[in-house]
A = this chain, B = another copy of it.
């Protein structure tokens, strides 16, 4: 209590002294102006003093980006001086085709990619059979689930039996494509299921209405009305070109969905009326340039950094590990940013333009994300929309809480991250899985920090986890991979 009083009196005195320090009476000012010595001083505070209330530090933002540019330029020069030019397009071709690795007469990756049409068509056939009532709903759904599960298992099985014949890039591509196919077929089957249930629901409603009302005249009226509604709906569909279930169950519609840049099936995608040629050319140039840039950066910058980081990692020398991780973080983050732009802006917009697909919401402004949950729901919109529509909402509709639904979404996401890493590397570690499962608790922490210290600090946590989390995971996998293969 006494201390508080003292503190208050101190504050009061300080405030007073500042006022006095800056004050000079009008009379004195006037008198000073009449002097012959050309006075040039007047009472004022330095800008860094809290009493000056100066807050314009916009130049420091320019300073920050200039320092980053200079640092980047130096890293670039240092890299070239240390390693020379390592970019070698011939190596890329070898890496991409898998030439020189195992039997070059067989291309199992390409065979598997072509085979991916089979589960898709199977799914279509089962849907068709259900639509025309050849298959019962129950058997159809079971068959669909089996088909989808076999889709995701196929690359694992094939790769396990003949791993020598796959190139690393080949099996990664196969896994990615089969994962996308898995998500798309899930969406296709579930959406068609909704449509079937929906039209049945309408029918049930009509039946119930008919049962609950006893007056026969009224019944006829209602029937006539509902018939008219159905007819007018049909008319509307013809006018606007809207497709209704089961008219959508055909090859053309399925393949449009499989090629469209989205994971969520719907019967009537928003379409553009024409292809903007300039836009298309820009995206094509970006894709070609971007792929080359990423491969060059990888060879020139990433591989030496990862290799250099191995030694301290296996010796568990923590200070050196930290130094190497920070060194690795820069090229990794830079490549990730390039990869993000290349895939989510250039490539998906290119596909969307070619397919006349009008919804280009492939990413949101994740760079402003104020916590980690916001980041995960903004950086990859196709997956986010899929997870929300086909996992999160159905689970909450089943009566579970939002928390449970979120955990399930992160669990599935963690599983597929692990899938994409473990299958190509043939190492069933759980680093990627754990990395994803660490996101919900991290999200709680970042939300707390964002609320406690302001949105800026939440955003900084998001960026930090992005910049530092990835190289950590990469180092752990590379360490285990090197241990398994070179020891």
Interface residues of A, Cβ cutoff 8 Å to B: 10, 14, 17-18, 20-22, 24-25, 27-28, 31-32, 34-49, 54, 56-68, 70-71, 73-74, 77-78, 80-81, 191-192, 194-195, 197-199, 233, 236-237, 239-240, 242, 244-245, 262, 264-270, 272-274, 276, 278-279, 319-320, 322-323, 326-327, 329-330, 333, 341, 344-345, 348-349, 358-365, 367-369, 385, 389, 456, 459-460, 463-464, 467-468
A40 to B459, CA, bound (A): 28
Provide the residues of chain B in CB contact with A274, threshold 8 Å.
17, 20
Provide the residues of chain B in CB contact with A199, threshold 8 Å.
36
> Knowing A40-B389, A345-B46 touch, does A65 contact B64 (C-beta < 8 A)?
yes
Q: Name the prevailing secondary structure of the A interface residues.
A: helix
Provide the residues of chain B in CB contact with A36, threshold 8 Å.
194-195, 197-199, 245
A86 to B77, CA, bound (A): 27
Q: Is A368 in contact with B56, judged by CB distance below 8 angstroms?
A: yes
> Knowing A20-B273, A349-B49 touch, does A463 contact B359 (C-beta < 8 A)?
no
A215 to B290, CA, bound (A): 95
Q: Which 4 A/B pairs are nearest by Cβ-Cβ distance?
A: A36-B198, A43-B358, A74-B326, A59-B368
Q: Is A46 in contact with B326, judged by CB distance below 8 angstroms?
A: no
Q: Is A368 in contact with B61, judged by CB distance below 8 angstroms?
A: no
A29 to B351, CA, bound (A): 24
Provide the residues of chain B in CB contact with A18, threshold 8 Å.
276
A-B contact pairs, 29 of them (CB 8 A): A17-B273, A27-B239, A31-B236, A35-B244, A35-B267, A36-B198, A37-B245, A37-B265, A38-B191, A38-B266, A38-B389, A41-B262, A41-B264, A42-B359, A43-B359, A44-B358, A44-B360, A46-B349, A46-B360, A49-B279, A56-B368, A61-B61, A62-B459, A66-B463, A66-B467, A67-B68, A71-B330, A77-B319, A77-B326
Nearest chain B residue, comparing its CB with the CB of A244: B35
- Give the Cβ gap from A249 to chain B, nearest Cβ, in Å: 12
- Give the Cβ gap from A277 to chain B, nearest Cβ, in Å: 9
Provide the residues of chain B in CB contact with A70, threshold 8 Å.
326, 329-330, 467-468
A337 to B338, CA, bound (A): 33
Provide the residues of chain B in CB contact with A67, threshold 8 Å.
68, 330, 333, 467
A37 to B195, CA, bound (A): 6
Provide the residues of chain B in CB contact with A27, threshold 8 Å.
236, 239-240
Provide the residues of chain B in CB contact with A265, threshold 8 Å.
37
Q: Is A74 in contact with B327, judged by CB distance below 8 angstroms?
A: yes
Partner of A362, one of B46, B236, B262: B46
Q: Is B37 in contact with A240, judged by CB distance below 8 angstroms?
A: no
Provide the residues of chain B in CB contact with A361, threshold 8 Å.
44, 46
Known: A31-B237, A81-B323. 18 other contacts (CB 8 A): A10-B278, A28-B242, A36-B195, A36-B198, A37-B192, A37-B245, A40-B389, A42-B270, A43-B270, A46-B345, A47-B365, A60-B367, A62-B459, A66-B464, A71-B71, A71-B326, A74-B327, A77-B326
Q: Is B268 in contact with A32, judged by CB distance below 8 angstroms?
A: yes
Nearest chain B residue, comparing its CB with the CB of A386: B40
Nearest chain B residue, comparing its CB with the CB of A368: B59
Partner of A242, one of B32, B198, B329: B32
- Give the Cβ gap from A359 to chain B, nearest Cβ, in Å: 4
- Give the Cβ gap from A272 to chain B, nearest Cβ, in Å: 4
Provide the residues of chain B in CB contact with A323, threshold 8 Å.
74, 77-78, 81
Q: Is B62 in contact with A463, judged by CB distance below 8 angstroms?
A: yes
Select the residue from A21, A268, A389 with max chain B CB neighbours within 10 A: A21
Q: Is A272 in contact with B20, judged by CB distance below 8 angstroms?
A: yes
- Give the Cβ gap from A79 to chain B, nearest Cβ, in Å: 10
- Give the Cβ gap from A80 to chain B, nearest Cβ, in Å: 8
Q: Is B20 in contact with A270, judged by CB distance below 8 angstroms?
A: no
Q: Is B62 in contact with A456, judged by CB distance below 8 angstroms?
A: yes
Select the residue from A14, A41, A66 with max chain B CB neighbours within 10 A: A41
